[in-house]
Every structure is written in C-alpha cells, then in structure tokens.
C-alpha cells in the first residue's frame, strides 16, 4: 500500500513538473535584455558568476535560469558537467537526488555531488543522451520548504 502511494505521488510530481515545463515553453520568451557575449572558453548562455568549486569545462547555472549549448560541441565520451547553484547551502553533505526531464518525456535519475560549502551540486550528463531540445534538471534540496526542489533549464540546439 505504501509503495503504491509513493509511486502515485512520484508520478504526480513528475506530471506537474512536465506540465509546468510545457506551459512555460508555450508561453514563449518575454522581453529580455540581450545577453552579453560569452567569454573565451565559456559555454553559450553561461553567466559568469562566482560558484563554489567551479572547474574548467563546467557550466554554472542558477535555479530558474536557462543555459544553451550547441549540440555540435558535444563530444562522445565526455560528459556535459553542470554546476547547479542551490541558492541555499545543503543541510547535509549527502549527494542530492537529480531528475533530468527530456523533451521526449523520458526521465533520467541520478545524483549530484555537492561542492565546497555545499551551496552547489555537480551533475554529469552523458552527451549520447542529449539531442536538440529543452531539458529540465530538478534537484531535491534540503531547504525547509513545502516543495524543496530547484529547477534548471538546459537548451540543446
């Protein structure tokens, strides 16, 4: 009984997340300021900011932000590494559960290792799984909230 209820709740959460994602896609972009040109060696759409433990080749992304990457820049066998800014440091040092929602409705589950200070999480994505489209990365946080979840968008062009 408990397992059935857990599966039903998980399904509802994924359904709501997917519906919100589709709704935000249909809403279209609002007026925005032009993005600054990326610095040399920086992924397209990446905003330069101080994120704890950011390493060369990692893409920093804040909750609610969309990062664009060129599918031609993906190399087989080299994971796409995103450094997810948690906004609030994690209360524990445990890796954070992650769900990667693909444009075709497929969900990948994984974990993201916490960076120094536990204010960010490092998540690796197999480039073989990425095709052009919009992806939503969800991280379960330890924030004292009724819905402790952060979302990040990744656009593969």
pLDDT tens string, the chain, 157 residues long: the values are 665 655 556 555 555 454 444 444 444 443 333 333 333 333 444 333 334 454 557 899 999 899 999 998 888 889 999 999 998 999 999 999 999 999 988 899 999 999 989 999 999 999 988 999 999 999 999 998 888 899 999 999 9
Would you state the structure tokens that stand for residue 33, as one six-digit string?
A: 């300021």
- Helix, strand and coil content of the chain, in percent to the nearest 5, comes to 20, 30, 45
- How many angstroms separate the CA atoms of 143 and 145, rounded? 6
Kindly report the pTM of this predicted structure: 0.63
| 3-state SS track over 57-91 | CCEEEECCCEEEECHHHCCCCCCEEEEEECCCCCC
Instruction: Tell which phi-psi region holds residue 118, choosing left (phi > 0), alpha (psi between -120 and 50) or beta.
Output: left
Architecture, CATH, for domain 42-156: Sandwich (2.60)
Q: 98: closest CA among 152, 41, 20?
A: 152
Say if residues 47 and 60 touch (Cβ distance below 8 Å).
yes
């Amino acid at each position: 009984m408990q397992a059935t209820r857990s599966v039903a709740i998980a399904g509802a959460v994924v359904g709501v997340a997917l519906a919100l994602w589709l709704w935000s896609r249909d809403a279209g972009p609002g007026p925005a300021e032009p993005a600054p040109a990326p610095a040399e060696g920086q992924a397209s759409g990446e905003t330069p900011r101080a994120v704890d433990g950011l390493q060369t080749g990692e893409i920093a992304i804040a909750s609610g932000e969309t990062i664009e990457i060129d599918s031609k820049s993906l190399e087989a066998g080299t994971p796409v590494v995103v450094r997810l800014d948690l906004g609030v440091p994690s209360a524990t040092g445990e890796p954070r559960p992650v769900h990667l929602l693909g444009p075709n409705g497929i969900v990948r589950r994984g974990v993201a290792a916490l960076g120094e200070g536990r204010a960010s999480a490092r998540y690796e994505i197999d480039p073989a799984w990425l095709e052009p489209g919009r992806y939503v990365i969800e991280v379960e946080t330890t924030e004292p909230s009724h819905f402790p979840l952060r979302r990040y968008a990744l656009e593969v062009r």
